[in-house]
Structure 1
Amino acid sequence: MTGPILVHEVERAEKTLLHIVQNEYFSQEIKCLKGPNGQVSQKSKLFRLQPFLDKSGLLRVGGRLKNAASLEIFQKYPLIIPAKSTFTKLLLRNEHERLCHSGPQTVLASIRQRYWPLNARNTIRGIIFKCLRCFRQRPIMVQPIMGDLPSDRVEPSRAFKISGVDFWGPVMLKSSLRKNAPLKKAYVSVFVCFSTKAVHIELVNGLSTQDFI
């Protein structure tokens, strides 16, 4: 109540907020879990998560990690939080800023070590889209209008009359048929017909002009 905030006070406040949020959004599911059946309805959006109530009365995701003694309870059974809650959005925004404004995948992987937000990907994308700092770091790139294709690309002609060529590799090849033969670098020359898009490939021993010819 006075002085600096202690760890147990933060944990108690967080637990209280989770109780409020879960009772507001998942009241029907909590009521079903407390009932004689002890299961949520099959029509519930939490049904596939196999939810259960822990000792504190909080909803957690079920799973098959019961025997993983090295994992903490948050990793084995993350806390379920709704998608549209202000608490969830603040939590995800804080995680996004704590991870130095990282992308959706990083935020999602980090938050799921403790919580399981519903519709998390879309919610995180919306938060990052509205983040002012991320917007400033992501300027709109102007795409120049490409020029017209040359006539050789659009007019029909005999195959490989006009061709483009490029090298692919390197690939490692044995210098002889012996088992212990040393490996050497080789390349693949790819010829593409401009008109028909037919492809022809040739093995090339090196990158010199003579090897190419």
Structure 2
Amino acid sequence: PQIIPGTDTNYTISVMNGTSHGLNHLLFDQYEFNASTSSIRFRLTFPNLTKVYNNYEMEGVIFGHNVSGEGVMRQEVIGNGIHVTDLRLEEVNNSLQIASLELTAVLDKYIFEFGGLNVVGITVQQLEKLMEEYDMAVFNGENEQVSKYIADSYKSSLNTNMAGLTTEQVIQWLKDHTKGDAHVGFIENFIARFSKAL
């Protein structure tokens, strides 16, 4: 059961035959390089992540309204990703490492669509809107903590993977593993500039 304390919400939902869309479309923008601090800013987002379930079944209470039904369910997450506000590199024992990483998790909106759902007291569209607004409020309320966790995790993981690698080896690894992806060209250029500044 799905329970949201303090909202009179207690329902069960089962889903089958889900398909995902948008995972291969990653947008890179808002790139800036600050030469005086040797830091970069950029944003990486998925413009639209969509999950469609060809068959769902739901029953219970959501925000005080009895619900029941089955059909096709669609979930969309718009503009989900990270905004890196400060990324700085350093060399430690001839290995490239991340000295600092500050970022903010971003998300523009949620969209829910429930085909075949019966709702008591309000329309299906009104319920979908309530669910979208609630999920956005949860995201915004937890954003600072989640953003710090993501930054710390990325920094730790990347530093572990780059340990023992020189700047040139990191650049070569990027070239070997991105298959000419233009989105990572900015990383190669930044690392090259960083290396020259040392």
TM-score normalised over the length of structure 1? 0.18
Which has a greater percent of strand?
2
